[in-house]
């Protein structure tokens, strides 16, 4: 079956492409890119006024299956991903049971093949049960399809264990994804330590809790030579450490989330809305501006959602009792278009770098590009469409979005995974 | 009338609201000295004491206040409530709302829970203490006591001494003092200070002796002695020596200065027995004012104005 994407503005900085042209896709691959192309039979998608880019990837998604299917599962999570314009997601291992052995990875790979709307790349646990103690079977998990390893949600507290984990990971050339948080400093902290923790009377988590962990893990990356990716950076200080490490040539990458880019701790007062409870917590305006600057100057490698679905009854609890996290897959692209692109802070090539190529490079996923012969993982974006973020907007099972009520600019209209529609005309393909 | 439907956070109130509550409490104070201490004012109104954390003093004070206004007061405490069966606070709120309660006094160990309650029910809410956040009626009764003893509030310097970081009493008292033109000074080990005292609107100093000579009021907070791990100071002995109120420090205060404490006191730790029993300690005046101030708060929230008090 042939497919023709007609008259879109096709943008891929990896092949220096930014032109209005057509793309012909056959058998899951791009066969030709050029002007005035046609196909004898097949499907033609009119893409005039739309932006055609390499498929977006989210390197930080909580699909919740197995164990927490009431929050999300592989099917609903990948529907949400397609709806948000992503052709692939990387699934974090904090499921129940934890994804810390080959069989668990195989389950996820098989489930995704059976029910997934987009590609699912499993991230395995670094340590057994995410306990921060014994090494998990990384080799076994890689053999079953794991692409990287993380104790996301907790972080490995003991420096000796982290060193051992990173040394061991080097055998496979794989990436360690660090959740940077010194628990002794976080204590019972549920919000950023500072003005808002004082004002709202809740225990705070200081920026130093992240910065110390970032500094440690960068030092361990230098010691071990392991590839390090830092998850959800939230502080100006943490980002500065990454900038300095990159200048020294350390093999380190980092991600930031839309909620840390576009919200601050001030959102919490006075209503204690639990949709703003996340870990790391929302920080200050100075931190937020530093993250945006890091995005623009290239210190930040990618935008990742940390999509963390929770059921309404869990988020309806007292703030200090409610679980951490906001959903993100379906709002990330419109947020970036609205708050960065439309304001001229980044251009489309930057967006492709931050949401398509950067994520793939950070986790060592297969690179793609918009040229003949490449795998046809493609996202088509309608930059003028309106996205009203309401509970009924979501394909995710959960609606715990920090951006509920927002009206955003832009949304994905088509998502192609290996030449097959996952999203068409803005609707997830069943 | 108050400008706010609820008393959850001191910042909900205006300086005029505070004056109205204190003036109204003055009238109720007089009622509390009568032989028959009861007014028909809130007859037929339902007031629920939703205490999800153990409390004797505060709950009793609210209970007496409700009874003296002839309201129907119901206690809904943690041991008898549905919350131990796993019902969420939101469902408890909707249940109480369905029973058409007029006013709910809530105490809970989690900050922000009165706001959660307010979102799920129509009743007026009084925050009886939420986690480490606020305890506004305590601040109001403290202001009442200061005004009663010292004649005015504007211009007073009030040292609040002890565990500020974990204190909902300080959380309300600091903004309350700012609103009436007094100057709060926070005193205690930095390990017990919130991250940003400036956000509360107060300066902080390290030791009590640095400020003792400037104080009109020394407000001593209770030290929680039960905590052992991660102890924020080396010993009770050292705490008492540096931050405790004793006779020497009482003598160093302004001659008119008073000593306050929200109770219950740890004699020999934050306050010596000699000071606690002196006539410059106004701890029982605070308790006494508590009933009148809570009567005023209930009365004003449920629609009364100052003129109706005499009824």
For A150-184, how does the pLDDT look when each residue is reduced to its tens digit (9 = 90+)? 999 989 999 999 999 999 999 999 999 999 999 99
Name which of B89, B116, B171 is nearest A201 (Cβ-Cβ): B171
Residues of A in contact with B90 (CB under 8 A): 316
Paired with B76 in beta bridges are: B50
Residues B175 and B125 in one domain: no
Token pair recorded at residue A356 = 């398509």
Residues B130 and B140 in one domain: no
Residue B1 lies in a domain: no
Residue-level pLDDT at B83: 59
Among B78, B89, B112, B170, the strongest candidate for a mutation testing the A interface, having the largest count of A CBs within 10 A, is B112
To the query of whether residue A306 is one of the catalytic residues in this protein, the response is yes
Residue B100 lies in a domain: yes
Q: Do A316 and B90 touch (CB under 8 A)?
A: yes
Domain extent for B96: 10-134+287-310
Residues of A in contact with B200 (CB under 8 A): 198-199
Can you say whether residue B28 is alpha, beta or left, with left for phi > 0 and alpha for psi between -120 and 50 degrees?
A: alpha
Domain ranges of chain A: 2-52+373-428, 55-363
pTM above 0.90, yes or no: yes
Q: What does the alpha-carbon distance between residue B196 and residue A295 come to, in Å, rounded to a whole number? A: 29
- Range among A234-243, B83-92, B302-311 rated most confident: A234-243
- Domain of residue B154, CATH code: 3.40.50.1370
Segment A245-293, tens digit of pLDDT: 999 999 999 999 999 999 999 999 889 999 999 999 999 999 999 999 9
Q: What does the alpha-carbon distance between residue A166 and residue A251 come to, in Å, rounded to a whole number? A: 13
Paired with A19 in beta bridges are: A10
Residue A54 sits at φ, ψ, to 5 deg, of: -60, 145
Segment B70-109, tens digit of pLDDT: 999 999 876 655 555 678 899 999 999 999 999 999 999 9
Catalytic residue, from A151, A152, A287, A306: name it. A306
Paired with B267 in beta bridges are: B271
Can you say whether residue A267 is alpha, beta or left, with left for phi > 0 and alpha for psi between -120 and 50 degrees?
A: alpha
Among chain B residues, CA nearest to A273: B116
Residue B242 lies in a domain: yes
| Residues B164, B186 contacting (CB under 8 angstroms) | yes
Residue B2 lies in a domain: no
Q: What does the alpha-carbon distance between residue B177 and residue B217 come to, in Å, rounded to a whole number? A: 12
Q: Chain-wide mean pLDDT for chain A? A: 97
Residues of A in contact with B133 (CB under 8 A): 200-202
Q: Do B113 and A318 touch (CB under 8 A)?
A: yes
A203 at B interface, C-beta within 8 A: yes
Residue B231 lies in a domain: yes
Helix (H, G, I), strand (E, B) or coil at A30: strand
Residues of A in contact with B108 (CB under 8 A): 318
Residues B277 and B291 in one domain: no
Residue B243 lies in a domain: yes
Answer whether residue B213 shows pLDDT above 80: yes
Sheet with A302-303: list strands edge to edge. A56-61, A86-91, A119-124, A148-150, A175-178, A227-230, A252-256, A302-303
Q: Do A194 and B134 touch (CB under 8 A)?
A: no
Residues B16 and B81 in one domain: yes
| Residues A46, A85 contacting (CB under 8 angstroms) | no
| Residues A159, A216 contacting (CB under 8 angstroms) | yes
Question: A2-52+373-428 domain in CATH 2.30.40.10?
Answer: yes
Domain topology for A55-363: TIM Barrel (3.20.20)
Residue B197 lies in a domain: yes
Q: Do B196 and A313 touch (CB under 8 A)?
A: no
**Rg of chain A taking only CA atoms, in angstroms:** 21
Q: Do B88 and A317 touch (CB under 8 A)?
A: yes
Q: Count the domains in chain B.
A: 2
ipTM attached to this prediction = 0.91
Residues B165 and B226 in one domain: yes
B206 at A interface, C-beta within 8 A: no
Q: Do B132 and A202 touch (CB under 8 A)?
A: yes
């Amino acid at each position: 079956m042939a497919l023709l994407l007609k008259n879109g503005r096709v943008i891929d900085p990896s092949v220096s492409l930014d032109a209005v042209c057509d793309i012909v896709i056959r058998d899951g691959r791009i066969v030709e890119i050029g002007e005035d192309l046609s196909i004898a039979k097949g499907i033609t998608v009119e893409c005039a006024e739309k932006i055609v880019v390499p498929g977006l990837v989210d390197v930080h998604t909580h699909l919740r299956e197995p164990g927490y299917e009431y929050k999300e599962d592989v099917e609903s999570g990948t529907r949400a991903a397609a709806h948000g314009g992503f052709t692939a997601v990387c699934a974090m291992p904090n499921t129940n049971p934890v994804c810390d052995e080959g069989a668990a990875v195989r389950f996820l790979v098989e489930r995704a093949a059976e029910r997934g709307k987009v590609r699912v790349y499993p991230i395995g646990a670094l340590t057994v049960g995410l306990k921060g103690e014994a090494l998990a079977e990384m080799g076994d998990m890689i053999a079953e399809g794991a692409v990287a390893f993380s104790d996301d949600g907790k972080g490995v507290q003991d420096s000796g264990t982290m060193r051992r984990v990173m040394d061991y990971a080097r055998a496979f050339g794989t990436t360690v994804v660090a959740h940077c948080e010194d628990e002794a400093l976080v204590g019972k902290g549920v919000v950023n330590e500072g003005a808002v923790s004082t004002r709202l009377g809740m225990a705070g988590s200081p920026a130093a809790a992240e910065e110390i962990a970032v500094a440690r893990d960068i030092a361990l990356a230098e010691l071990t030579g392991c590839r390090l990716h830092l998850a959800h950076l939230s502080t100006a200080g943490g980002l500065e450490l990454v900038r300095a490490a990159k200048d020294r040539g350390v093999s380190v990458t980092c991600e930031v989330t839309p909620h840390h880019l576009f919200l601050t701790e001030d959102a919490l007062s006075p209503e204690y809305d639990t949709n703003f409870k996340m870990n790391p917590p929302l920080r200050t305006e100075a931190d937020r501006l530093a993250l945006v600057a890091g995005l623009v100057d290239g210190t930040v490698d990618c935008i990742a959602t940390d999509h963390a679905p929770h059921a309404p009854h869990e988020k309806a609890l007292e703030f200090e009792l409610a679980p951490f996290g906001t959903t993100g897959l379906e709002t990330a692209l419109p947020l970036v278009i609205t708050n960065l692109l439309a304001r001229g802070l980044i251009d489309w090539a930057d967006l492709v770098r931050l949401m398509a190529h950067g994520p793939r490079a950070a986790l060592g996923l297969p690179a793609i590009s918009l040229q003949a012969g490449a795998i046809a993982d493609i996202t088509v974006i309608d930059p003028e469409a309106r996205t009203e973020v309401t509970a009924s907007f979501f394909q995710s099972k959960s609606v715990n979005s920090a951006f509920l009520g927002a009206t955003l600019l832009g949304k994905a209209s088509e998502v192609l995974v290996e030449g097959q529609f996952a999203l068409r005309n803005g609707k997830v393909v069943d | 009338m108050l400008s706010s439907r609820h008393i959850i956070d001191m910042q909900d109130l205006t300086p005029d609201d505070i004056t109205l509550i204190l003036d109204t409490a003055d009238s109720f104070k007089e009622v509390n000295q009568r032989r028959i201490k009861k007014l028909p004012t809130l007859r037929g109104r339902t007031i629920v004491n939703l205490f999800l954390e153990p409390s004797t003093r505060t709950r009793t004070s609210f209970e007496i206040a409700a009874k003296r206004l002839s309201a129907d007061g119901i206690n809904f405490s943690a041991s008898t409530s549905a919350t131990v069966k796993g019902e969420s606070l939101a469902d408890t709120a909707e249940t109480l709302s369905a029973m058409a309660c007029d006013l709910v006094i809530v105490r809970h160990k989690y900050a922000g829970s009165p706001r959660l309650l307010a979102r799920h029910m129509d009743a007026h809410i009084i925050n009886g203490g939420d986690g480490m956040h606020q305890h506004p009626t305590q601040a109001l009764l403290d202001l009442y006591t200061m005004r009663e003893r010292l004649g005015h509030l504007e211009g007073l310097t009030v040292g609040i001494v002890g565990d500020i970081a974990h204190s909902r009493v300080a959380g309300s008292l600091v903004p309350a003092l700012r609103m009436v033109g007094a100057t709060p000074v926070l005193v205690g080990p930095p390990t017990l200070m919130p991250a940003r005292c400036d956000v509360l609107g107060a300066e902080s100093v390290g030791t009590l002796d640095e400020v003792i000579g400037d104080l009109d009021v020394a407000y001593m907070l209770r030290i929680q002695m039960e905590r052992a791990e991660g102890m924020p100071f080396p010993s009770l002995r050292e705490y008492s020596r540096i931050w405790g109120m004793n006779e020497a420090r009482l003598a160093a205060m302004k001659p008119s200065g008073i000593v306050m404490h929200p109770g219950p006191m740890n004699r020999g730790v934050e306050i010596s027995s000699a000071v606690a029993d002196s006539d410059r300690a106004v701890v029982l005046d605070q308790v006494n004012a508590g009933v009148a101030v809570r009567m005023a708060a209930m009365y004003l929230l449920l629609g009364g104005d100052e003129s109706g008090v005499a009824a």
